Amino acid sequence: MTRSRSELVEGALALARGGIPVIPLRPRSKAPIHQRWPELGMLDEGSIRLEWMLNPGANVGVLCGAQAMRGEGLTILDIDPPDGFATLQGLEIEHDPLPDGAMVMTPSGGFHHYFSGATDSWNPGPGLEVRSVGRQCAAPPSTHPNGGEYVWQHGLDDGLPQLPPWLVKVNGPPPQPARPFSPSGLRDPVLEVPPPVYFERLCGLTPDRDGFVCCPIHGEEMASLKVYKTADKGWFCYGESCRRGGDVVTLVAELAGVGTPVRGYQFVALLDYLRGRLL
């Protein structure tokens, strides 16, 4: 079954409080919603709540790599049955048993072992995958495409043991943290949609012949919000109790109660939400 939005949000917040950046995945899927997901790991509560308000059925993904765990890094060992168990047993005989710690049971009957530390992502053998730099992983309480759920076998309170040396990929460059995303200079087709079009599609409001509508932000009986014809001019409410205006991102942020100006992750999340509604 698919978890409720509140359950998904609480699961994402629990991971973020532990220092693990989270990203939204498509509902009942392991695929990220946002194309720029490697740069969009969330740790703050406001961004997480906004994301799941825009995508209430989104699965929860964790961003692996050197930037997780407040710079200590996160690596997940993904064990898929049946080959993964045999491969792991052989490696443990050759090296050392895996240390105990946070672990997730997957819907396929496998396990995700969480470790502190980062390495290049690689496959030590059949059914075994080391997910670290440049990778993400579905986490509880997500729902698998087969309908099963990801469940904590041992939670984060059990701690994250250090990544065993024999799971570190050798002969490669040291892992580098992801570059933080900056929206400066970004021009998206969403930002070119004319204001009369996005007011009608997002608010169900059609401007009168002078370009005015009743403001959907502060509520009124007399139309005082001017909807201009071009995206560069946007919109502005001339009501004395409002005096707000901007572009399509600002409009959605005001309607959602998000602080403006919108920057960083929230800017990208709102753009991706609008892309699905306007393009």
Confidence of residue 35 (pLDDT cuts 50, 70, 90): confident
pLDDT in tens, 227-271: 999 998 999 999 888 989 999 999 998 888 877 777 777 788 888
**160 CB-side CA count, 13 A:** 21
For the chain, give the mean pLDDT: 88
pLDDT in tens, 71-106: 899 999 999 998 999 999 999 999 999 999 999 999
Contact assessment for residue 134 and residue 38, using Cβ atoms and an 8 Å cutoff: yes
pLDDT in tens, 131-140: 999 999 999 9
pLDDT value at residue 180: 41
User: Measured between alpha carbons, how far is 151 from 148 in angstroms, rounded to an integer?
Assistant: 9
pLDDT value at residue 172: 53
Which pTM does this prediction carry? 0.71
> How many residues belong to the chain?
279
- Tell me the H-state helices in the chain: 5-17, 45-54, 83-94, 195-203, 248-256, 264-278
Nearest to 234 by CA among 192, 180, 182, 181: 192
Q: State the DSSP string of 9-22.
A: HHHHHHHHHTT--E
Looking at the predicted structure, is the pLDDT value of residue 70 above 80? yes
pLDDT in tens, 147-158: 999 999 999 988
Q: Specify the DSSP element, H or E, that contains 111.
A: strand 111-116
- Tokens for 40? 């969009």
Q: What is the arithmetic mean of pLDDT over 40-62?
A: 92
Looking at the predicted structure, is the pLDDT value of residue 113 above 70? yes
Nearest to 104 by CA among 77, 128, 130: 77
Helix, strand, coil percentages (3-state) for the chain, rounded to 5, are: 30, 20, 50
pLDDT in tens, 184-228: 344 678 999 999 999 999 999 999 999 999 999 888 788 999 999
Indicate if the alpha-carbon torsion angle 180, 112, 121, 75 is positive or negative: positive
User: Measured between alpha carbons, how far is 103 from 100 in angstroms, rounded to an integer?
Assistant: 8
